[in-house]
Chains A and B, each alone.
Chain A
């Protein structure tokens, strides 16, 4: 199967969206929110951007970052094991999948950090639950309704910059990571169709704008739709500006991810004050016939990132952008009978960009001592988040994540 996002609507979340009284947003969010608001002045001074790329479905970390000297790897991956000689070596122990040559090149240039064994305690093998943990940055049974990046966007939104678009997603639906307590974060498909949707010269546009965005006594779905409509109209205007400014001849892969990263480049070139962008690539739930499928999507991932990296350099934006590549879990060490792998636990995370200190970080999980057949994590995923929050976005991680996690020296 395949996955894009998981969101669990609740009454609290709905009320938060509808812009109703702050008290109804629940106990946790307001406290966290008050704290981050105080810090937002500091964060405003920084114009760094984070582009998150979700590998949807659970990426097989073992076949992404291959421990080619480990005999247990080949014993477990009888048909799916990648021969040592085909691996793009990053060290004398690990290397990237053969389809990831462009990323191996970025590594050589010192622009790619690979974090090994990333996960969280008591791993859950449900896509949707594990995604919820990664997106909310919480392992609590009742996690906050907001996502970690939604909290970042909330902290960057203030009354004086209402028209800014601090966060923006290219995914089919708003990812849970972007659920915010007060910000309405746009999801943008193809820029052309989007910007053509509600042109000001269309008949009835003025009244449509007025009646779709009017604030009134209405609650429930009507209030929610009015808030969303207001964002549509505001975003349409801003994106038209951005599109006009983007002049680039870089060719991106014709894939969904290639198109998403191209849109990211267009928006960054438009200098709209966007600080967090969210893209996703589907197809990692490789329960069967993994070999060809995994090679194809890892190749697409690598080529798309490579094109984006060149585009950023050409636009003079390379120093302002960092990419985070993650997945909800890795896969079972022992392959299954369908030439695939079932849901697992720890996997690797990639961080790329001109300002990244390239290298291999953390410890590769043992293939001997497993947790119910799965790799046991060695680095908490929130350590990666904390690094990006503190060292890159300038948003104090303790406030966004709810507690302190040690950073990793990759930025």
Chain B
């Protein structure tokens, strides 16, 4: 019954893969898309679009690395955390494989490590690179890579854990947050796992195994006894039934809907288990499923700050420095490389409080005000690309923007309000002046876009 829901969607006349569904897929598996990208996806069809999400794009990966090496230390200092944030955002804003960055962001929230304790952005960027490398690989390899990751060894104190007094920090979070979840291990398991990871240290930015600090004795975990080391503990955790369940549920909450039913979670866990924790195989099936495209999942989430800002920027083709965007996103409550704690960002309605929402409203208003005029180097929001100067009908302008941002899903009453706003200046409604005065039209159209970007309907993701 539940597995039924994850069966592949075969688009037909009643369930077409149209602009609305393509936009949904490109939002969830990326950061939102331009009308051109959406049209291209519709042309390709669902199957090929999903296939292309996982493009290895090695040329692009190499190109990013070359750019980073060229500018770091010469144009920018990536030792500065705000520059490191900007660099990652630049990749999100410009990559042709947004899913890889989206997954990297997901794993950053999962293995949530903060530069505030790690102190070294080089280690942080190295960790992000590792997350990116394993983004849609095998989950076990990812966990092992994180257990050996230098930033993680600082963050959860593995670097100073030794057999005399094992430090429990990493062992506990490995179970509670990274693999099987609370309630699926005992305090004894935590203590024994802490012993198994002793001596997993680092030297600078490299992992080292320090045999003198390692406890080679026998440990008892999950009802098994043996001279386990950290890798064995990870294998034992991968074999726990709770692990695919915990991870699949979290992936569903991030990519599909905030409160998936127990039946869907069970089906997803089974699927993830069948793939032997292969994330690419799992996600391909998920993104191509009837469930993913069902109405209850459509715009059912609340955009995270990164999704909101990078999404509108990619949709509109905004030209704005990533450093500015990084600041905005931090004000909205998602400072990259600085998650609030090891549990990461709680997400969904926790993104929204009066302060973070005020920041979103302020940003929404500011983006369409970016108008470079004659100086093409200045930040710019290319409203004119969507609303040509000779488009004078207020209804048509609202429709164009409603298609651009909502694929048409905007209530008639709301559209009427927007039209009324569009043609009104300080003196009241002026339909004739709106038609005849291009300056008036341009100003009001940009303001209109600001209003539409701030709508609750647009933040539903």
Contacts and interface: CB of A to CB of B under 8 A. Distances in A.
Interface in A2-16: 2-7, 9-11, 14
B242 to A, nearest CB: 15
Contacts of B354: 186-188, 194, 228, 231-232, 235
A338 B160 contact: yes
A221 B301 contact: yes
Interface string B342-356: 110010111011111
A129 B182 contact: yes
Interface in B134-181: 155-157, 160-162, 164-169, 172-173, 176
Interface in A197-212: 197-198, 202-204, 207-208, 210-212
B455 interface: yes
Given A212-B455, A220-B300, A221-B299, A288 B167 contact: yes
A342 interface: yes
Contacts of B371: none
Interface centre among A5, A186, A203 (most CB of B within 10 A): A203
A221 B460 contact: yes
A229 to B, nearest CB: 6
Nearest to A141: B183
A377 interface: no
A151 interface: no
Interface string A153-166: 00000000000000
A232 B340 contact: no
B445 to A, nearest CB: 12
A148 interface: no
Contacts of B355: 186-189, 194
Contacts of B190: 125
Chain A facing B: main interface SS: loop
B173 A204 contact: no
Contacts of A202: 365
B402 interface: no
A5 B164 CA distance: 32
Contacts of B173: 1
Given A188-B354, A207-B417, A172 B459 contact: no
B333 A172 contact: yes
Contact of A194 (B165, B346, B358, B460): B358
A336 B340 CA distance: 25
B357 A232 contact: yes
Given A125-B172, A187-B353, A342-B167, A221 B160 contact: no
Contacts of A128: 176, 182, 343
A222 B340 contact: no
B247 interface: no
A194 B301 CA distance: 25
A349 interface: no
B246 to A, nearest CB: 14
A173 B353 contact: yes
Contact of A236 (B156, B352, B358): B358
Contacts of B169: 1, 287, 342
A221 B359 contact: no
B442 interface: no
A229 B358 CA distance: 8
Interface in B266-300: 299-300
A198 to B, nearest CB: 6
Interface in A179-202: 186-189, 193-194, 197-198, 202
Interface centre among B301, B448, B460 (most CB of A within 10 A): B460
Contacts of B403: none
B362 interface: yes
Given A1-B173, A126-B172, A14 B349 contact: yes
Contacts of A97: none
B454 interface: yes
A225 B341 contact: no
Contacts of A337: 160-162, 164-167
A287 B157 contact: yes
Contacts of B414: 211
B117 interface: yes
Contacts of B350: 7, 9, 173-174
B451 interface: yes
A111 interface: no
Nearest to B259: A11
B114 interface: yes
B450 interface: yes
B460 A5 contact: no
A372 to B, nearest CB: 7
A226 interface: yes
B117 A197 contact: no
B81 to A, nearest CB: 15
Nearest to B300: A220
A119 interface: no
A224 interface: yes
Nearest to A235: B354
Given A225-B459, A226-B456, A288-B160, A174 B353 contact: yes
Given A126-B172, A194-B354, A225 B460 contact: yes
Nearest to A236: B358
A194 B355 CA distance: 6
A173 B346 contact: yes
B167 A3 contact: no
A9 B259 CA distance: 8
Contacts of A226: 456
B120 interface: no
Contact of A14 (B259, B346, B353): B259
B450 A3 contact: no
Nearest to A173: B350
Nearest to B353: A187
A204 B450 contact: yes
A11 B258 CA distance: 9
Given A212-B454, A212-B455, A228-B353, A9 B346 contact: yes
Contacts of B302: 221, 224-225
A129 B411 CA distance: 42
Contacts of B352: 224-225, 228
A372 B187 CA distance: 10
A336 B357 CA distance: 42
Contact of B167 (A6, A17, A287, A334): A287
Given A126-B176, A173-B353, A211-B451, A220 B157 contact: no
A290 to B, nearest CB: 11
A7 B162 CA distance: 33
Nearest to B302: A221
Interface string A314-347: 0000000000000000000011111110110000
Interface string A1-36: 111111101110010010000000000000000000
A127 interface: yes
B361 A198 contact: yes
A225 B331 CA distance: 18
8 contacts: A1-B342, A3-B342, A172-B333, A193-B331, A197-B361, A202-B365, A334-B165, A342-B169
Interface of A: 1-7, 9-11, 14, 17, 56, 125-129, 169, 172-174, 186-189, 193-194, 197-198, 202-204, 207-208, 210-212, 216, 218, 220-222, 224-226, 228-229, 231-232, 235-236, 287-288, 334-340, 342-343, 372
Given A128-B343, A187-B354, A224-B302, 14 more contacts: A7-B350, A9-B258, A125-B190, A194-B354, A220-B460, A222-B460, A224-B349, A225-B456, A287-B156, A287-B167, A287-B168, A288-B157, A336-B168, A343-B172
In the A-B complex, the 9 residue pairs with the closest CB atoms: A225-B456, A337-B165, A187-B353, A197-B358, A338-B160, A189-B355, A186-B354, A3-B341, A1-B342
